[in-house]
Copies of this chain bind each other. A is one copy, B any other.
Amino acid sequence: MGRPATPKLSVDKIAAAALALVDAKGEFTMGEIAGALGVRPSSLYNHLAGKTDVIEAMRARIFAEQPAPPAPSAHWTDALRALLRHYRDAFARHPRLIPMLTAHTVSSPDVIHMYDDIATVLSAAGIPTARLLDVITVLDSFVIGSALDVAAPDQVWDAAQARTPVLIAAISAAGHGRPRADRAFELGLDLILGALTTYTE
Query: Which chain A residues have a beta carbon within 8 Å of chain B's beta carbons?
Result: 98-100, 102-103, 105-107, 109, 112-113, 115-116, 119-120, 123, 129-138, 140-146, 148-149, 152-153, 155-158, 161-164, 166-167, 169-171, 173-174, 180-181, 183-185, 187-188, 190-192, 194-196, 198-199
Contact = CB atoms under 8 A, between A and B. Distances in A.
A145 B141 contact: yes
- Name A's interface SS: helix
A100 to B, nearest CB: 8
Going nearest first, the 3 A-B pairs with the smallest beta carbon separation are: A141-B145, A145-B145, A132-B170
Contacts of A180: 133-134, 137
Number of copies: 2
Given A99-B103, A113-B163, A145 B155 contact: no
A148 B187 CA distance: 22
B140 A141 contact: no
Contacts of A187: 131, 134-135, 138
Contacts of A170: 119, 123, 129, 132-133, 136
Contact of A112 (B136, B158, B191): B158
A152 B108 CA distance: 13
A155 to B, nearest CB: 6
Contact of A188 (B102, B103, B138, B194): B138
Contacts of A133: 157, 170-171, 173-174, 180, 184
Given A166-B132, A196-B191, A141 B148 contact: yes
Contact of A142 (B99, B132, B141, B169): B141
A60 B184 CA distance: 26
